[in-house]
Structure 1
Amino acid sequence: MKKIFILCLALTLTVFTVKGICADTDVKIKQLTADSKSHGLGIFDAWSGDDEWIVYACGPNHLNDLIEKVSTKTGEIVTLYKIDNQTEYGPGCGTPSYCPTQDKVVFIHGPRNFGPDQKYEFWRRSAAVIREPDYNRPVFIDARDVTSPFTPGALRGGTHCHEWSHDGEWVAFTYNDMIMAELEKKTGRTLDLRTIGVSANIKPVDVDEDSAGENFDGEWFSVQLVEVVPDPEPGSDEISRAYENCWVGYEGYTDKNGKTQRAVAFKGKVVDNTGREVPEIFIVDIPDDIQADSSAHPLEGTENKMPSPPLGTKWRRLTYTADRKYPGLTVDPRFWLRTSPKGDKIFFLARDDNGINQIYYVLSLGGPIVQVTSQATDVMSTPSISSDGGRICYICEGCVYVTEISGMRTFRVTNPAEKPASSPIWSNSGDRIAFNRAVEGSGGRFLQIFITEPF
């Protein structure tokens, strides 16, 4: 791996002013990147803990070969991780996220053994962590063991969309199982069922080597959190897919008994009484000891069964939307759940009675669904919540919008452009927003990063 190098862009940061919908709202926008490659913001925690840097992946998809960060003050660009042997089969990297407590970044890393028969797949990827000053020495946190007997604390597939917990000691992810994917090919049944899990910095996990190079050790202990089934019973809370999850809160969440609890909210795909698949919101409370299991439900799974959640893991359903005119959560656009800083509200997209995507929330302990936005056209992004929990930003009409949750005052932050804005993310201080927009440049259009001045 090459040593770290710093590229100082010889560009003048572009600053311009946008007049908001409200006459008293003037927001200045600054373009941070301008070189001829795409700078894709991830879903979670693009800002460093001190808001000095923004991290992103370079390229159009998971077969990116470069992770960088850009200074929010000067536009200086630093290479964090570079794959020198990138091919069409792998390894690839993408969707980086900053740890809130330390100068380290987690991101998707594709297969280290790659080729025509071992290409990048949903079930062949893992979490890599890089940190100052050893950016060129990634640490792989989730172990992988795809040869029986399997290993507790190791997974049998691939993880992605990694999100740090508030203390930086846990990482949540979505998961696809390689053993079930191979069994699906043999049986023709739908068994490659996406679910969610966590890795915890409690102990390393060593696995046996295999001739194909599919197995590898991990520095953290990893488990699956939610059971999924191929054919949920109509009208039940059984889930065929758990996905697009987020940690519940960043300042602490207490369960129904008042106990401080680690928890993850997720979309769960159920089947309603008419036989229709509908995504609903669920929450899973994570036990303190994720190493405990039972002989009937081993953490590591079997050749015919997915890994089981730790003993004491509990999940429950929060939304029941069958009686709405448009049941379920929004499917298009794809979005991730987000929570308020205190963990009391879970935000999501759903269609109103006019069929328009709006932002709603439901309390993490349960309750009625509350509508937040009332836009005339679709909300088109994952919502992002400010650090004080008072404001939410999102994309509508190709522009960045902000809605103040308490008074529901809404204003537009950016003007319409030929190419819409995307991926808005609040800074940790809650006074700035970063977002992407495609800009014409040398060699074509590339995603560039913009930020607002404090407002």
Structure 2
Amino acid sequence: MFDKKPVQLTTTAIGHTLNTGQVFSSDNQWVVFDTRNNDGDIKITGSIGVVNTQTGEEKIIYTVANQTQFGPGVGAASFSPVADRVIFIHGIRNANEQQPYDFTRRTGVAIDLKNPGQAIFMDARQLTEPFVPGALRGGTHAHSWSGDGQMISFTYNDEVIAQLAKTDASHKDLRTIGLMFPKKVNVNDTANVENNDGEMFAILAATVTENPKYGTDEIDKAFDECWIGKEGYLKPDGSRQQKAIAYQGNVRNEQGGTITEIFVVDIPENIALLDFGADIAGTTRTMPAVPRELKQRRITFSKKGVQGPRHWLRSSPDGEMIFFLSEDDQEWIQVFSVSPNGGEINQVTNNRFSVSSPINVSANGLFIAYIADQSVFISEISSGKSKRLTPQYEAPEQLNGAVVWSNDSKSVVFNRYVKSASGVFLQIFLLEI
């Protein structure tokens, strides 16, 4: 019935959670995972590992020295597309019962495979004044590498504003997105483990506001982004925008209801050379400002907006299409696409069932992979034709998370729970396409 049978790569009695994308090393020899056994357990998860796609060899490449039930916690690891380096969420090192792992208490840490265990803090963090341009004051997560591996996007929550919001109702902890690029940032008082220097310069990339005006493009949440194309996208005038990010933003319609639409922010080519204003560092009462050189642009104006399970936007490799989930006319969750220049929204899949997971696009731009009906599916983008690649699994050995493509489009990996004498553990399976 099925062309290929999935191969179980991992077997050890620990969790092996795959991130929602970018889990293969550049040569497809390794897949990175964290040791969560449940999605919401980053706080209590202390290790990052890799498994060899040919031999099934498992190696732990990083373990938190002082892990407790309150943190620091690690998880959601992504491989660089050009180097043997992974980045992942790392909770703040002084996590305890009073200050546990939280949205605003995490940062991006990298590990080079040749130097396992040696943490590289990627984004700088500075929690006390004077705030430093290029450093942030809260929690970065869901890190994603640009196609050339030079920049990293992330989702962000601000610790300073989160604390202010507890005593001042006019302020809210608003989720937004940002990016970082190579440029060393040194902060003040690194003896305080709330603060750390960073290898990269971090800025916010989406403007959010506490009270969006009805019927406008203002948003109070930006989230679950993707880089557009491996080398950007073509603008209507034929010029190429080398780097850009698409993201989801929550707007208010004329009736005051919340709808999630898609936005794009173009990144200047000379961003590392720009002289940003001091306001990008933020104050005790304001979020770090988005550099004025970055302008957000809404590209969808739909009735239903983005819907379905939580998922990150995905782009075709050539940057011509951005993919997302929404409801069709029969209220099934399907894959849709839109140009980064805006315009007509196109329905990609036409299944008689709903997509139930994040989505990923193959590196050759031909297929989308996802979970539906407790099976792994791929759909051809050009025709929308879908194919079930695995049996329909049942609890307690059900599928979980995303289906992620290798860099050569020849295989996918996915998570499934497997029952053993030691318990039920999330394992990694590889399936040749």
Query: Which range, TM-score by smaller chain?
Result: over 0.9
> Which consecutive residues of structure 2, in runs of 5 or more, have no partner in the other structure?
none
1:35 aligns with 12
Count of residue pairs brought into register by the alignment = 424
1:116 aligns with 97
The reply to whether residue 223 of structure 1 matches residue 203 of structure 2 is: yes
Shift of residue 278, structure 1, vs aligned partner: 0.8
1:397 aligns with 373
Secondary structure of the 1:187 match is coil
Q: Is the CA contact 2:103–2:139 (under 8 Å) kept in the aligned structure 1?
A: yes
1:450 aligns with 429
Structure 1 residues 294 and 81, CA, compared in 2 at 3 Å: closer, same or farther? Answer: closer
Pick from 311, 326, 330 the counterpart of residue 350 of structure 1: 326
Pick from 243, 247, 271 the counterpart of residue 289 of structure 1: 271
Pick from 244, 247, 251 the counterpart of residue 263 of structure 1: 244
Secondary structure of the 2:173 match is coil
Amino acid at match of 2:72: P
Shift of residue 210, structure 1, vs aligned partner: 7.1
Amino acid at match of 1:144: R
2:390 aligns with 414
Amino acid at match of 1:149: P
The reply to whether residue 360 of structure 1 matches residue 336 of structure 2 is: yes
Pick from 15, 25, 35 the counterpart of residue 58 of structure 1: 35
Alignment of 1:10-21 (within 5 A): 19-20=1-2
Q: Is the CA contact 1:292–1:311 (under 8 Å) kept in the aligned structure 2?
A: no
Alignment of 1:57-136 (within 5 A): 57-59=34-36, 60=38, 61-63=41-43, 64-136=45-117
Secondary structure of the 2:166 match is helix
Amino acid at match of 2:70: Y
In 2: Cα distance, 1:37 partner to 1:301 partner: 41
Percent identity for Structure 1 against Structure 2: 41
In 2: Cα distance, 1:232 partner to 1:291 partner: 33
Structure 1 residues 255 and 154, CA, compared in 2 at 3 Å: closer, same or farther? Answer: farther
Q: Is the CA contact 2:378–2:387 (under 8 Å) kept in the aligned structure 1?
A: yes
Shift of residue 252, structure 1, vs aligned partner: 3.3
**What are the superposed Cα offsets for residues 199-232 of structure 1, whole Å, 9 maximum, x if unpaired?**
111x211111178542221111110111100110
Pick from 109, 119, 122 the counterpart of residue 141 of structure 1: 122
The reply to whether residue 159 of structure 1 matches residue 135 of structure 2 is: no
1:181 aligns with 162
**What are the superposed Cα offsets for residues 367-411 of structure 1, whole Å, 9 maximum, x if unpaired?**
211111111121011111111101111111010111111122211
TM-score (norm 1): 0.90
Q: Is the CA contact 1:71–1:77 (under 8 Å) kept in the aligned structure 2?
A: yes
The reply to whether residue 328 of structure 1 matches residue 309 of structure 2 is: no
Structure 1 residues 116 and 211, CA, compared in 2 at 3 Å: closer, same or farther? Answer: farther
> Which consecutive residues of structure 1, in runs of 5 or more, have no partner in the other structure?
1-18, 21-25
In 2: Cα distance, 1:409 partner to 1:286 partner: 35
Shift of residue 145, structure 1, vs aligned partner: 1.1
Amino acid at match of 1:236: T
TM-score (norm 2): 0.94
Secondary structure of the 1:299 match is helix
Alpha carbon RMSD of aligned pairs, Å? Answer: 1.6
Pick from 233, 244, 267 the counterpart of residue 253 of structure 1: 233
1:432 aligns with 411
Shift of residue 133, structure 1, vs aligned partner: 1.2
In 2: Cα distance, 1:211 partner to 1:127 partner: 19
**What are the superposed Cα offsets for residues 226-273 of structure 1, whole Å, 9 maximum, x if unpaired?**
110011000000010000011111143234441333111100000001
